[in-house]
Amino acid sequence: MQRLFAIAASLLLALTPQQQRGKQLYLTGESAAPRKPTALISADEVEVSASVVPCASCHGRDGKGRAEGGITPANIRWDTLLQATDARPAYTKPLLKRAIAMGIGANGKPLEVAMPRYRMTLEDMSDLLAYLEQLPTDRDPGLSDDAIRIGAVLPPNEDAPVRTMLTKYYAKVGPIFGRTIEPVFATTSGSATERATALQHFVDTQQPFAIAASWLTGADAEMAAVAETTQVPTIAAFSIAVSADAKYVYPMLAGEEEQGDALVAAAGGTRLLTVRDEPPVVGDHDMLLYLGAPSHLASVLAAAAAAPAPPFVLIPAAHSSGAVASLPPALKGRVLIALPSSAKDVTEDGAAELQALGVAQEHVTACRIALASAKLLVEALRRNGRDVSRESLVNTLDAFYAVPTGVAPPVTWAAGKHTGSSAVTIMRP
Ligand code: HEC
């Protein structure tokens, strides 16, 4: 019931198409109008694209105004504008349009020159006002004054232990800038399409502000596409093939590509064959890189062992299985497994933290990786400050440089370069 109310409330707050256009204008200065909005800045009347000086760059996303470089942009939240002050009467819509277009305040006097004068179509102007009216209540989903909803998307086999651990962890973290973390969970299984649909359903119904501890491996592209279109910042704790230029998805560890490169370098061969689920025809290849389902690995190993000159078999951990525990003699010393993170990434503090969270040995890998991603998200929220939006969170994450978690390799992210770590450990079973 409570959840139904939450959904109803968030739908009521959803922006109309007009308000959405106004929001884009407010945040970025962009519009779809054939005549693009421009701004006259300074007393010299220099005309620039409005995208150079969007409203939010001075008045803030929340409209409260941020003092910077000696100028104090006014608070332009609707309730404030509609209130008369000692300096000026209350604004009306026509007076607001005049202020934005001509730089004249409600009292009929010129505003400070720091406030640009904007030229835009009448339609753009009404869109902008429609959004200004809504701005005080406009927040990204999953965010309220005293809570922030953080999602986790887990594999069925590790769901329960990771859920318990994360719930404990977020409770220990306590409120961040006055907001308690409310964890929400989803488990996905089945085909890549089914898992992407489950993620979409989770985002629609639970409305997480951001997602940490997400499991994308095996449905990387499909699930990443959902995070991108719904614009939910997502730390992909478990993923192998998310494209590094995604905007909202942040793979935390080395993916298939980095692992493959490290395996090839370690094997030192020259003729590589990449194998997915089909049985390999080894020919004169001296290295097989296995990127198929773990359940097919045994048959691929058998085919490699039967080759006249058995090749090295190179396996990123996500594709490995128990079959490597009993290798045919022909492959002894010729199987290499890549791990994007191993137990040696755990510091003394990290070990103590895992213990305090009651993590059992049999689930330690999944819990440790999930915890690392949750810690990174918490760190981002702390760095971001109270005025947080999905957009500002993405900017904060894009400035992460060698951020340690104590339980996984340190992470570096930058815009357009979202592979958090290229560390790879090679094991020879
Ligand atoms: C370069 C910084 C800057 C940008 C960009 C900017 N403003 Fe301003 N704005 C100001 C400053 C500074 C003031 C205060 C002027 C004063 O007090 O005389 C102001 C004042 C205002 C006021 C009058 C408030 C009052 O109480 O009288 C309104 C309304 C306003 N801005 C709306 C906007 C809108 C809408 C946009 C985008 C289309 C925008 N501003 C873009 C700096 C900016």
Q: Kindly give the distance from the C-alpha atom of residue 34 to the centroid of ligand 1, in angstroms, as a whole number.
A: 25
Q: Residue 70 has what pLDDT?
A: 78
Q: Which residues contact 305 (CB under 8 A, 6 or more apart)?
A: 327, 328, 329, 330, 331
How are strands ordered across the β-sheet holding 38-41? 46-49, 38-41, 117-119
User: Residues near ligand 1 with C-beta < 6 Å?
Assistant: 53, 55, 57-59, 71, 73-74, 76, 88, 96, 99-100, 105-106, 111-112, 114-116, 118, 128
Q: What Cα–Cα distance (Å) separates residue 241 from each residue in 159, 297, 417?
A: 22, 19, 13
Q: Residue 341 has what pLDDT?
A: 96
Q: Could you tell me the two tokens for 292?
A: 């198929």
Q: Kindly give the distance from the C-alpha atom of residue 45 to the centroid of ligand 1, in angstroms, as a whole number.
A: 16
Q: Residue 13 has what pLDDT?
A: 55
End-to-end alpha-carbon separation of the chain, Å? 52
Q: Kindly give the distance from the C-alpha atom of residue 374 to the centroid of ligand 1, in angstroms, as a whole number.
A: 38
Q: Residue 6 has what pLDDT?
A: 46
- Among 36, 47, 48, 76, which is best to mutate for testing ligand 1, by the most ligand atoms less than 8 A from CB? 76
User: Which atom of ligand 1 is the closest one to the Cα of 39?
Assistant: 38
Give buried/exposed letters for 168-190 (b at 16+ CB in 10 A, else e). bbbeeeeebeebebbbbbbbbee
Q: Kindly give the distance from the C-alpha atom of residue 88 to the centroid of ligand 1, in angstroms, as a whole number.
A: 14
Which residue's CA is the nearest one to ligand 1's atom 27? 105
DSSP output for 230-295: HT--EEEEE-S---TT-SSEEE-S--HHHHHHHHHHHH--S-EEEE-SSPP--TT-SEEEE-S-GG
Q: Residue 8 has what pLDDT?
A: 43
The residues spanned by each domain of the chain are: 13-137, 147-255+347-423, 257-339
The domain 13-137: what is its CATH number?
1.10.760
- Among 53, 68, 111, 124, which is best to mutate for testing ligand 1, by the most ligand atoms less than 8 A from CB? 111
Q: Report the C-alpha gap between 115 and 42 in whole angstroms.
A: 8
Dihedrals phi, psi of 236, to nearest 5 degrees: -85, 95
3-class DSSP state for residue 121?
coil
How many residues are listed for the chain in this entry? 429
Q: Residue 44 has what pLDDT?
A: 76
Q: Kindly give the distance from the C-alpha atom of residue 227 to the centroid of ligand 1, in angstroms, as a whole number.
A: 34
Q: Report the C-alpha gap between 154 and 158 in whole angstroms.
A: 7
Q: Residue 4 has what pLDDT?
A: 47
Q: Could you tell me the two tokens for 345?
A: 């990434």
The domain 147-255+347-423: what is its CATH number?
3.40.50.2300
Decide if 243 contacts 216 (C-beta within 8 A): no
Task: Tell me the one-letter amino acid at 188.
Answer: T
Q: Kindly give the distance from the C-alpha atom of residue 76 to the centroid of ligand 1, in angstroms, as a whole number.
A: 8
Tally the C-alpha atoms within 13 A of residue 218's C-alpha that lie toward its C-beta: 18
In which residue ranges of the chain is pLDDT below 50? 1-12
Q: Report the C-alpha gap between 217 and 321 in whole angstroms.
A: 15
Q: Report the C-alpha gap between 160 and 278 in whole angstroms.
A: 34
